[in-house]
Structure 1
């Protein structure tokens, strides 16, 4: 059996076992496991538990706000790397402090800050609110969720430092950051599993997307090491893209689908398509990201080898087929999102619908970007490498035009209920959206045009680079600076809103229509309309605007 199919098979089996145990429990050991995990999450923290608050929603707020702060640094690192591509000496003065700025290293720092600092923290932060809501219970430990968010931030900081200098005093920095990251993720998983164990109702499918995303990271790491996939470039490439499909795509899809119902007030258009998204994220290879597995090799450190092996014909066929299948869950997710949000206000004028614009943007752009990524990855797997020059620009597009908008949109949709206040300024939210969107679309598109020009010149064996290509890169980097400004506007809006935002009333707090417990009947309607709102046979229908008081004559 080839590397790709064997590794995928082990991953599927292990993930199925984890799902089975979550559904069935640990037999007579379930109560023991619950008690042990509860002790580890609360009492085992010792004095550390007194450093943070454990009020409801504190954990989710902490993760989301820190994710917003990392969004600023992620955009700054990415912008600086784009600028240094055409002007390597722009930050030469920093050499007097002992730091030599390098475009590739700053691009790597931007990737770590974007994926682990922004997207991951938004996914985990939203999950701390969504899973308890869908399970009909409270989060097992708000204190633990709040505390480990700061440890996660430290791990991201270590990864960013490691991207600049991976060896300090003979110690590999990136594996250290990844190890710290996984320790925190283990605490997050235990917290969520204990919450699920106390559920009072069945969890809707978006919740399972989030749970599978969280579980996939440690499972994939173990499978990659045990199966030997981490020892060669083929296995490292596969591990990188499985992680992108299960953790990032499934996690973002889960919180975005839940948020689309929150933001629009509509039920999810199709529960079947949510299931297709879940199954597809597990059984396909996501083409987003780099064309190699360098990040995986850096993450595993001494546990991984640098064996360079060409893709066999069977590996090429398996990889190409599984990547082509990713169009099914992507189309299912995109169509479900867009139809669910039909009629909602895309321009965030409604204070109760913050995040709609970002959710719409990510849902539209995921299709063309995944198609482009499919062509680039297939080209790399086949060994042709004709499109290698645009892989970096397309990878940044996947981050800033799909993952960040969807995760940010979900966080903004949940913001009022988590904070108890609206965003400070809807005008600032609007400007933040347009600055980020315009900067990312125009900046990265212009940069990609320059990439295509360089590819064409290389094919013609032209030695001197084109001045036009260099000028386009300057324009692209300047345009991308809008993303930095937009990130700052969004973050300031969220932070200021915690203290000065308009207080929300209980009536304005929206609940997800994924699972409806009551339906307010305000006018004559049909059974079909009630059921289409997400109601079932146990939903309580409550007439409004009526009372039992005795009527009297109207006084003129």
Structure 2
């Protein structure tokens, strides 16, 4: 028990320290550490890294391509396992080449290993792309990232073939884990150097990615040490991190990048974002739980942490789905975003199922172990598969530099959604039936519920086809000759803007949220059908008087303008006060806090988002000084709000003295103007005053 407490304490300290230096930097050691890190990335091992290209996106592309190979293998393996539950003798004709079917445990291990490798590799490739986009467009060393992807693929292949030649136990598995830890440590160095190359704040996706990989390295190391020391409790903790924290961290990192990029809207709630990040790394995920220690205290603590482990999943899913609101059309038009949105919708369902069945395995009598296994594999195949498809369809084109090829992306997404749900539900029905008949039928086997197995395998066939189609798209895109161009969606919500005849300025149009692609519509006569005419953007919009309509300002922004004008506070002064982190721009939370502290309005996140969107001219989800200055100045001019210059208050004595001095000076000035004095007269007066 002491070992578990010590390991958990060290992990929390490690994460807090990493977060501190990630946010604050390392000060004067930055340059030295960067040079050392770049030397290790580009020169160690000597000569090997030169075999890989250092092109932009090559690291991400390599991870996704090798992950796609494992995706095909795991999909075929999953279908074979599902079919063999129906007919164990289906492939007995391959016995001549060594094929044999036991109780299915070997196939289960094979599928879990290949599927984990597929989901991890593809999601990590997508996260690398998201991280590089947020930090100048490339990693510090794309060649090293590509080499680590190749090495991960090779080590996974060796670990699958090794049991053919030797007996592989838990110690050998933990030893392979140490090799994985070294590869991930190299990726971490690459990410940290990339993150330090710019002065902007770390993105949400980068936070999840870096914290997840730090936890992964820690888990591999303590598992190896625990195997040497014979501590099963620490091994349990390490496996909970590897199977719980790491996949969810990568899933959240991908979701928090793709959904906002597709909709062109900022993340819905910063509070839910922070909650999903903080709670993920201090709780226990409900997926892939195993039998915990016999200690009642440890079991109680573990059960509480598993219960709390539902909250980050619910928070992240709610946040991602809420970000899509109001722009569902762009989600359905983009197959990658559709896959991720569907995964976010289904994730809480699998989490709740895993919670109840996992607790039975962890602290109960393990009577639902079969059901828990079905839920866990369904989670990896369905949720992991959907987010992997989201990476392939949304981020792989940017990594490869080629436009997404093929027209079957949406069909592949729907195949995985329908097939994954259907096969999981039918398999669960078969599991429950098998559990019910086991006490009643002597030597009960899966053949007694073969109908459920057959139906589930038919449903899973859709998952297999969907993943094969996705891998085919990866191959086609890799050889496509159509270059990829990234277009930021959602520059403005104003697709059509109506004007009456008159004139205006581009600045005024921009202040009202009109974008470069907005159609300007000039009001026509009522007799004309449609009532308006769409015209092209021009520097002059007809003639005579300025009469625009509609002119509408958000009431809260009007109150803010009046509040500032009444106090003589400029937009620059307000901006510098509200920009707490001195990043040069205000996010939703800083603006909300400023309105609340100024007692102007205490609004929910969706209303704050509407206000920010009204001022956000470049569509980045944040407010910079020119944007707020233009908008507030537009409100002042349109509503003729008077700006009262700020004058410092003076004490009564000082005020009276200053007034008397002012009046004396004015009188002296008037006298001097009426009776100019010579220099001699001035000297004479000075002498008389001295006397």
Q: CA deviation at 1:325?
A: 0.6
Instruction: Report how far residue 474 of structure 1 moved.
Output: 2.0
Larger radius of gyration: 2
Whether the aligned pair in 2 keeps the contact of 1:158 and 1:177 (CA below 8 Å) is: no
Note the alpha carbon deviations across 1:290-349, whole angstroms, 9 max, x for none.
535xxxxxxxxxxxxxxxx84221112101110111121111101111111224457976
Question: For 1:180-219, what per-residue CA distance to the aligned partner results, in whole angstroms no more than 9, with x for missing partners?
Answer: 3222212111111111222221112232011101111112
Q: Which residue of 1 aligns with 2:144?
A: 144
Q: Measured at CA, do residues 221 and 166 of structure 1 come closer, stay the same or move farther in structure 2, by a change above 3 Å?
A: farther
- Cα separation, 1, equivalents of 2:137 and 2:455: 51
Q: How many aligned residue pairs are there?
A: 517
Structure 1 residues 521 and 170: alpha-carbon distance in aligned structure 2, compared to 1, 3 A threshold: closer
Task: Report the Cα distance in structure 1 between the residues aligned to 2:132 and 2:312, rounded to whole angstroms.
Answer: 26
- Tell which deviates more after alignment, 317-326 or 472-481: 472-481
Instruction: Quote the Cα distance in structure 2 between the aligned partners of 1:101 and 1:464.
Output: 18
What's 1:76 paired with? 76
Aligned partners of 2:624, 2:123: CA distance in 1, in Å?
32
Question: Structure 1 CA distance, aligned partners of 2:467 and 2:485?
Answer: 28
Q: Shift of residue 456 of structure 1? A: 0.9
Output aligned runs, 1:96-135, within 5 Å. 96-102=96-102, 103-116=104-117, 118-135=118-135
Structure 1 CA distance for aligned equivalents of residues 448 and 482 of structure 2: 49
CA contact (8 A) 1:346 1:357 kept: no
* Distance in 2, Cα, partners of 1:220 & 1:357: 33
- Residue 14 of structure 1 deviates from its aligned partner by 2.2
Report the Cα offset of residue 401 of structure 1: 1.9
Displacement of 1:171 in angstroms is 12
Distance 1:209 1:349, change over 3 A: closer
Q: Please say if 1:87 is aligned against 2:87.
A: yes
1:441 aligns with 2:421: yes
Match of 1:259? Answer: 258
Q: Once the two structures are superposed, what CA deviation does each residue of 1:513-532 show, in whole Å capped at 9, x if it has no partner? A: 9xxxx997426886712457
Pairing 1:315–2:298 present: yes
State the Cα distance separating 1:169 from its structure 2 match.
10
Report whether the alignment pairs 1:270 with 2:269: yes
Match of 1:369 in 2: 350
In structure 1, which of residues 454, 459, 463 is the aligned counterpart of residue 434 of structure 2?
454
CA spacing shift, 1:234–1:179, aligned 2, 3 Å: closer
Shift of 1:282: 0.4
The 10-residue stretch of structure 1 (60-69 or 43-52) with the greater mean CA deviation from structure 2: 43-52
Q: 1:82 to 1:28 in 2, by over 3 A?
A: same
The 3-state SS of whatever aligns with 2:438 is: helix
For the 8 Å contact 2:123–2:388, the answer to whether it is kept is: yes
* Alpha-carbon distance, 1:89 to partner: 2.8
Taking the aligned partners of 1:188 and 1:177, their CA distance within structure 2 comes to 17
1:412-460 CA distances to partner (integer Å, 9 max, x unpaired)? 222333334332233x112211222222211222111111011112244
**Larger relative contact order (C-alpha < 8 A, sep ≥ 6)?**
1
Change (3 A) 1:291 1:359: same
> Is the CA contact 2:276–2:313 (under 8 Å) kept in the aligned structure 1?
yes
The equivalences for 1:107-506 within 5 A come to 107-116=108-117, 118-136=118-136, 138-162=138-162, 164-165=163-164, 167=166, 174-175=173-174, 177-224=176-223, 231-292=230-291, 310-345=293-328, 350=333, 353-426=334-407, 428-460=408-440, 462-465=442-445, 469-500=449-480, 502-505=482-485
Q: Distance in 1 between matches of 2:332 and 2:127?
A: 26
Q: Deviations over 1:457-487 (max 9, x none)?
A: 2244654457551221122123212211111
What is the CA RMSD across the aligned residues, in angstroms? 3.2
Distance 1:390 1:410, change over 3 A: same
2:678 matched residue in structure 1: none
Q: Unaligned 5+ residue runs, structure 1?
A: 293-308, 544-556
User: Which region of structure 1 is more displaced relative to structure 2, 70-79 or 48-57?
Assistant: 48-57
How has the CA–CA distance of structure 1 residues 136 and 328 changed in structure 2, closer, same or farther, with 3 Å as cutoff? same
TM-score (norm 1): 0.84
